[in-house]
Amino acid sequence: MMKKNVRRILAAFGLSVVLTAGSVSLAWADMPVVIVPLEESQSQSGSPAPGQSGTSSSPTEQTGPVASRPETAQTQETAQPAVNVQEPEVAAQGASLYNATTGQFLYTKNADTQYYPASITKLMTALLVAENCNLSDTVTFSATATTNLEAGAVSLNLTEGDQLTVEQCLYALLLKSANEVGNALAEHVAGSNQAFADLMNAKAASLGCTNTHFNNPHGLNDPNHYTTAHDMALIAQAAFQNDTVRKVASTVSYTLPATKNSGARTITMGHKMLNPSSSNYYPGIIGGKTGYTSKAGNTLVTAVEKDGVRLIVVILKSSSTHYTDTKALLDYGFELVKQQGTAAQTGTSSGTNTSVTGPGASIQTGWKEDGTGWYYIKSNGAKASGEWLQIEGEEYYFDDNAYMATGWRNFTDGSWYYFHSTGAMAKNAWVEDNGKWFYLGSSGAMLTNTTTPDGYRVDGSGAWVS
- Give the chain's radius of gyration (CA, Å): 23
The dihedral built from the CA positions of residue 217, 220, 225 and 228, taken in this order, carries a sign that is: positive
Sequence-ordered list of residues with C-beta below 8 angstroms from that of 60, at least 6 positions apart, any chain: none
Residue 12 confidence (pLDDT): 52
The CA distances from residue 373 to 60, 121, 370, 399, 420, in Å, are: 7, 41, 6, 11, 14
- Cβ-in-10-Å burial (0-12, 13-18, 19+) of 147 comes to exposed
Q: How far apart are CA 332 and CA 340, in angstroms?
A: 12
Which residue among 109, 122, 176, 306 is the active-site one?
122
Which residue among 56, 96, 177, 421 is the active-site one?
177
Q: How far apart are CA 396 and CA 350, in angstroms?
A: 34
Q: Which CATH class is domain 94-340?
A: alpha beta
Domain map of the chain by residue range?
94-340
- Catalytic annotation present for 25: no
- Catalytic annotation present for 177: yes
* Binding site, annotated residues for substrate: 289
* Binding site, annotated residues: 289
Residue 64 confidence (pLDDT): 29
The CA distances from residue 107 to 96, 139, 214, 262, in Å, are: 6, 40, 25, 45
Q: How far is CA 260 from the centre of its chain?
A: 31
Q: DSSP characters for 231-292?
A: HHHHHHHHHHHSHHHHHHHT-SEEEEPPBTTB-SEEEE-S-GGG-TTSTT--TTEEEEEEEE
Which residue among 119, 250, 349, 379 is the active-site one?
119
Residue 449 confidence (pLDDT): 92
What angle, rounded to 10 degrees, do the helices at 179-190 and 122-132 form?
40
| Mean pLDDT for back-to-back runs of 10 residues, the chain (466 residues) | 50 46 41 40 33 32 30 31 79 96 91 97 97 96 93 92 97 97 97 96 94 97 96 96 95 94 94 93 96 96 93 96 97 89 40 33 66 83 83 85 92 85 90 91 90 91 90
Residue 85 confidence (pLDDT): 84
Q: Which of 119, 327, 121, 96 is nearest to 229 (CA)?
A: 96
According to DSSP, the β-strands at 285-293 and 436-440 are: unpaired
Q: DSSP characters for 170-215?
A: HHIIIII--HHHHHHHHHHHHSSHHHHHHHHHHHHHHTT-SS-B--
Residue 317 confidence (pLDDT): 97
Distance between start and end Cα atoms, the chain: 48
Contact 288, 273 (CB under 8 A): yes
Residue 415 confidence (pLDDT): 87
- Catalytic annotation present for 122: yes
